[in-house]
A = this chain, B = another copy of it.
Amino acid sequence: MPQLGLLCRKAWAAALLSQLVRPPHAVSIRTVGGHSQIAEAVLTSQLKPREEKPNFVIKVPKGTRDLSPQQMVVREKILDTVVSCFKRHGAKGLDTPAFELKDMLTEKSEENFGLMYDLKDQGGELLSLRYDLTVPFARYLAMNKLKKMKRYQVGKVWRRESPAIVQGRYREFCQCDFDIAGQFDPMIPDAECLKIICEILSGLQLGDFLIKVNDRRIVDGMFAVCGVPESKFRTICASMDKLDKMSWKDVRHEMVVKKGLAPEVADRIGDYVQCHGGISLLEEMFQDPRLSQSKQALEGLRDLKLLFEYLTLFGIAEKISFDLSLARGLDYYTGVIYEAVLLKPAAQAGVESLNVGSVAAGGRYDDLVATFDPKGYKVPCVGLSIGVERIFYIVEQKMKTLGEKVRTSETQVFVATPQKNFLRERLKIIAELWDAGIKAEMLYKENPKLLTQLHYCEDMGIPLVVIIGEQEQKEGTLKLRSVASREEVAIKRENLVAEIQKQLSLS
């Protein structure tokens, strides 16, 4: 599945800003004192290249970023919600290599052809980094001659978007895909895909959302009856796909001026792309004098009608909008297509710059697997992709506005001492805790100050402290301190683990 839509300029600016928090630094040339011979050896070899380029800069590649521990916590929460939903629907996990033979990826999608990261030819195969998880999935099915599979995959994909034309996208980003492959009765898997999108977006509590639905056959049928020359179908479809970022006026201008479409043809398309609604609009289109002339369009309309029936049984019909302006960029779609957008997203959080376009999308692609299969054996597929990067951005912004602080570690107990020379005792205690499966930390100092230790607990949000000192050692006890209430109780040394487990179960 493709990455979805765009961040608005504001969002992009914010994203940029967060990057600029860590500006690159020029590295000067100097040796580092006090290291061993070998370090010397390493270092000299390492510093050599610097001499050649004195204004060497520390940065990550353009369009990529590190995820800090704070960001990782948010990311993990989102992925948990997504993956647990995929598993709730019986999906199996799959992993494929980060790169594929270039042949496997090229020409599966005109859209992405130019965006691929190729690996350098270092003697051997010609390789490219995957730009989505759909093509590798299709390759996997064909390679293993699988006729059906319900799989999910979470992984990074890479696209050399030119930031000039595509703002707010990262060149490395994470995708979460769910796909159902196999020959089944119409619209049953398709309906489940839409149900999954609803479950995930509700589960993530991103505010109200809407899923636009259309069908590639309706789009092509519409083009045909409006008088678009077949040779222009794809390029006009690509223009139409920009309707979520551009006004119809601008899209029309592109169609007529850039792509040489007759104005009256463009205007006929214009009449249709204004239309969106529910089952009523569907009925209307069945009666539409022009559209009803297209066999393809009627097939699409019939399937959408059945789809809406199933969506009603799933109780999600009111979340779905039949939208004739929805085109979806990718070439490989052959049937139902959909795209989820947030409605005044997260407004309640008072966050402004959150118009991030679509947060989930997908569709049916019945012919992709056949292009890999020696005998051209068809394995119909339908799937969806969750725009985690978008969602991640929204959740992050929300948390910033609400001033929510995330814990970056899960440590439950800290082992402290108020006196000197208790390192060995602390080591014995913490080993006991680890061996009991309790998440525990201590400072890596022989004789740390008690205040330093207690501050660490408050900074890190560690709830419990075990304290060992001279008095405790004499009495064969330990102090158990609650960081929040600052209460302290004495416990028997031998009851350490039991007492802590009790405390943790209470909190």
A contacts, CB < 8 Å to B: 22, 24-28, 30-32, 35-39, 41-43, 45-49, 53, 56, 58-62, 64-69, 71-73, 75-76, 87-101, 103-104, 106-108, 110, 117-122, 124-125, 127, 129, 139-140, 142-144, 150-151, 156, 158, 160, 172, 180, 182, 184-185, 188-189, 191-192, 195, 199, 216-217, 220, 230, 233-234, 296, 310, 313-315, 331-334, 366-367, 370-376, 378, 408-411, 423-424, 427-428, 431, 434-435, 437-441, 444-446, 460
Give the one of A43, A75, A87 with max B CB within 10 A. Answer: A43
Kindly list chain B residues whose C-beta atoms are within 8 Å of the C-beta of A310. 427
Residue of B nearest to A140 (CB): B66
A234 touches B41 (CB 8 A): yes
Residue of B nearest to A93 (CB): B72
- Option from B88, B100, B435, B460 in Cβ contact (under 8 Å) with A440: B88
A36 touches B119 (CB 8 A): no
A101 touches B61 (CB 8 A): yes
B367 touches A440 (CB 8 A): no
Copies of the protein in its oligomer = 2
Kindly list chain B residues whose C-beta atoms are within 8 Å of the C-beta of A217. 36, 38
Whether A143 contacts B90 in the complex (CB less than 8 A), given A36-B334, A98-B98, A98-B158, comes out as no
Name the 9 nearest CB pairs between A and B, nearest first: A184-B444, A69-B92, A72-B93, A64-B97, A67-B95, A90-B441, A118-B120, A188-B444, A313-B427
A107 touches B49 (CB 8 A): yes
Per the bound structure, the CA–CA distance linking A30 and B184 in Å amounts to 24
Kindly list chain B residues whose C-beta atoms are within 8 Å of the C-beta of A120. 117-121
Kindly list chain B residues whose C-beta atoms are within 8 Å of the C-beta of A372. 27, 58
Q: Given A36-B334, A67-B96, list of 11 further CB < 8 A pairs?
A: A25-B143, A30-B376, A32-B370, A32-B378, A35-B334, A46-B107, A69-B92, A76-B93, A90-B439, A189-B444, A199-B435
